[in-house]
Structure 1
Amino acid sequence: MPVKPEPASALFAGPLALATLSAPDGPAFPSLVTPDGQALDLRQAFGDERLTTLDVLDRWETALPRLRALAADPALPRVPVAALRVHAPVAPRQVFQSGANYRQHVIDLHVAHRAPGDDRPEEERRAEAAELMDRRAAEDLPYVFIGLPGAITGPYDDVVLPAWAEQPDWELELAVVIGRAAFRVSVEEAPRYIAGYTIANDVTDRATVFRRDMPQIGTDWLRSKNAPGFTPLGPWIVPAESIAHPDDLQVTLRLNGETMQDESTKDMIFTVARMVAYASQTARLLPGDLVLTGSPAGNGMHWGRLLRHGDVMEGSVTGLGVQRTRCVTEVAP
């Protein structure tokens, strides 16, 4: 059974968030959620029984004022979120993922993977890595690759570890949700194209990141990151207007109650706006698309402790709530 959310005095920052919910045996529907844990069915409020959260994001500029008015109206009928199932907040058309975007994380990896025969003190190698990061930032070259929407699962659903995954690892991330079609936008313009933010855990099988049969091909993101359920998402989409400083949010992951990742987005080499602008230089970003911004230091490879059956991951980002997922090993056919 999925891990159930725990009650909280305030589920997220600001007066409202978007969610996709359902009754235990009913169809999923888009919902406005208030921070006290009450949900309003947006199908009724918008007069459209076929409405989805993606539809709301498709019309974000006109929808957001309506959502503000709905959140402020105490007379509208609401249901406790605790009585409903919480799904991934949106089914995106496209998923853009950022790699090597946290300074301390990349430095730690550089130090941990010393070249054969490199006997220099750790301080010297750490200084070298810091210089490399400064150079990368100065050259303005983010690293973005493509994920699959089919890997997304709900914020309280079980994460199935495939039988073939030898080194499954966690990567908690701040995820940007696009609210307007964006193509070749500048860094300065990028914030105007962001509808809001949510939480993503980019689960990765480290053993299949690099192709052993043909090393010259490089990374295999399909195999290592895109198994069904490898991207728990949510629970909510919090509007960008409620998150004043996306480049200063605490990203925290606990494994069975023990803190493994706990870092501010201030450590990102490239800011949220820079990542959105960079992705838009090549691809046309669409409403509802996700831009994952990278994961901070503290992955399982760092701790020498990877995911296994029964593990419970709890991920939080300041103002965006908490997701809790339990790992379940796939039964081999």
Structure 2
Amino acid sequence: MATDPSAVRPFSLGTFSLAGGVPFPGLITGEEVLDLRTVPVLRGAPGANPGTRDLLERWSEVLPVLRDLSSSTGGSGRHRLADLRVHAPVRPRQILQSGANYRTHVIDLAVAHEPEGGRPAEQVRAEAAAMMDRRAAEDQPYVFVGLPSSVTGPYDDVVVPSWCTRPDWELELAAVIGEPAFRVSPERAPQHVAAYTIANDITARELVFRRDMPEIGADWLRAKNAPSFTPLGPYLVPAEFVADPGDLRVTLKLNGRTMQDESTKDMIFDVARLVSYISRTVELLPGDVVLTGSPAGNGMHWGRFLRAGDVMEGSITGLGAQRNTCVAEEV
């Protein structure tokens, strides 16, 4: 008999490896990790080495099994979490990123980008607020595409390229797709989200707007997609354990100092509206990641950007924490 979801012990999924070993999908309960390759019903074809994306592709079938496993103890294939390396929890096919989705953040950026001697700050703030109200009313999120090759683990180093002079942090709530979503309504969209995790959308701030082609707009390729520029994880927390994704605390500390500390209540478009909007154009697939935008408190606001040796600690309510050290690219 399947476990009653209301009585399930909370669990999460991740990708792990023993020293020098092959990464494997694991079920985390407390400080213990169950290697899901040891569960015949989840392993798939003989000799297969499934990952978390494979499990997400069968999410409706896999989830009841995970619920049952979370309530069991003993048996083979169990490891202490402390003995394992933690990798990015999933390797997505697609990353869809929402920009300018937190009111306070957008207002702060608008003021920061205003040229010296330009419009008064209060005028800029008022115009930015009016723009966001208009976007919300017209149901027009701003979404761009990220590259999976930028993804790195939640405790891995962030390598700052030699050409990057203003690397910035952007901690974000990330929604992970389970059931394919194409042209779904906001009301149905949450049914397609399997889990949530944490992403840090590192940005080469000096390259967001190219001075040689200002009429074209943002250059998201170079600004966002260097290797290691998207720390992801630590784990995939099933949506059933996230009571309200619209009421989570997003906090980033730089060398112990709090730089971002905002509620997802400040989002202009919630997860359901973002997933629905994206699905009008793109078929979202299992394992795809939707980044929901970053709250106020980026380096652009503080006038302080990332440097080699900096340590970023990012956390979101109920989703754990990541810790990444910045290192300079070796050239």
TM above 0.5, yes or no, is: yes
Does residue 27 (structure 1) correspond to residue 27 (structure 2)? The answer is no
Shift of 1:112: 2.6
Runs of at least 5 residues in structure 1 that lack an aligned partner in the other structure: 1-12
Residue aligning to 2:10: 15
Q: Which residue of 1 aligns with 2:64?
A: 65
Asked if structure 1 preserves the Cα contact closer than 8 Å seen for 2:9 and 2:71, the reply is no
Aligned to 1:39: 33
Inter-partner Cα distance in structure 1 for 2:166 and 2:53: 34
CA distance 1:63–1:219, shift in 2 (3 Å): same
Aligned to 2:92: 92
1:166 maps to 165
Q: Would the alpha carbon gap of residues 287 and 304 (structure 1) be closer, same or farther in structure 2, given more than 3 Å must change?
A: same
Distance 1:119 1:101, change over 3 A: closer
Give the corresponding residue for 1:7. none
- Do 2:13 and 2:27's aligned partners in 1 also have CA atoms closer than 8 Å? yes
Which deviates more, 216-225 or 226-235?
Answer: 216-225
CA distance in 2, matches of 1:225, 1:110: 19
Q: Match of 1:198? A: 197
CA contact (8 A) 2:165 2:204 kept: yes
1:14–1:242 Cα contact (<8 Å) kept = no
> Residue in 2 aligned with 1:328?
327
1:253 deviation in Å? 0.3
CA distance in 2, matches of 1:166, 1:14: 46
Q: What CA deviation, in whole Å up to 9, does each residue of 1:1-51 have, x standing for no partner?
A: xxxxxxxxxxxx9611010000011000011111x1210000111244411
**Contact kept? 2:112, 2:300, Cα under 8 Å:** no
SS of 2:104 mapped into structure 1:
helix
Partner AA of 1:44 in structure 2: T
1:1-333 paired onto structure 2 within 5 Å? 15-34=10-29, 36-45=30-39, 46-48=42-44, 49-77=48-76, 78-114=78-114, 117-120=117-120, 122-332=121-331
- In 2, Cα distance between the equivalents of 1:119 and 1:144? 28
User: Counterpart of 1:146 in 2: which secondary structure?
Assistant: strand
Report which stretch shifted further, 129-138 or 193-202.
129-138
Letter in structure 2 aligned against 1:81: L
Encode CA deviations 1:88-124: one digit per residue, 9 max, x unaligned.
Answer: 000111110000000000011222333565453x344
Q: 1:95 to 1:119 in 2, by over 3 A?
A: closer
User: Could you say if the C-alpha distance between residues 117 and 307 of structure 1 is closer, same or farther in structure 2, counting changes exceeding 3 Å?
Assistant: closer
- Corresponding letter in the other structure for 2:109: L
Is 157-166 or 215-224 further displaced after alignment? 215-224
SS in 2 for 1:26: coil
Cα distance in 1 for residues equivalent to 2:253 and 2:124: 29
**For 1:81 and 1:96, how far apart are their aligned partners in 2?**
30
Which amino acid is the alignment partner of residue 102 of structure 1? Answer: Y
Please give the per-residue CA displacement for 1:181-239, whole angstroms capped at 9, x wherever unaligned: 11000000000000000000000001111222222221111111101110000000000
How many residues end up aligned between the 2 structures? 318
Residues of 1 paired with 2:279 and 2:231: CA distance? Answer: 24
User: 150-159 or 14-23, which moves further after superposition?
Assistant: 14-23
Q: Percent sequence identity over matched residues? A: 64
- Give the root-mean-square deviation of aligned CA atoms: 1.4
SS at match of 1:74: coil
Please report how far the alpha carbon of residue 296 of structure 1 lies from its aligned counterpart in structure 2 after TM superposition. Answer: 0.4
Q: Residue 136 of structure 2 aligns to a residue in which SS?
A: helix
* 1:185–1:280 Cα contact (<8 Å) kept: yes
Aligned-partner SS, 1:296: coil
- Residues 43-91 of structure 1, C-alpha deviations (whole Å, 9 max, x = no match): 1112444111110000000100000000101133421111000000001
Distance 1:232 1:274 in 2: 24
Partner Cα separation in structure 2 for residue 117 and residue 150 of structure 1: 41
* C-alpha separation in 2, matches of 1:62 and 1:90: 18
Cα 1:151–1:329 shift into 2, 3 Å: same
Mapped to 2, the partners of 1:313 and 1:117 lie a distance apart of: 34
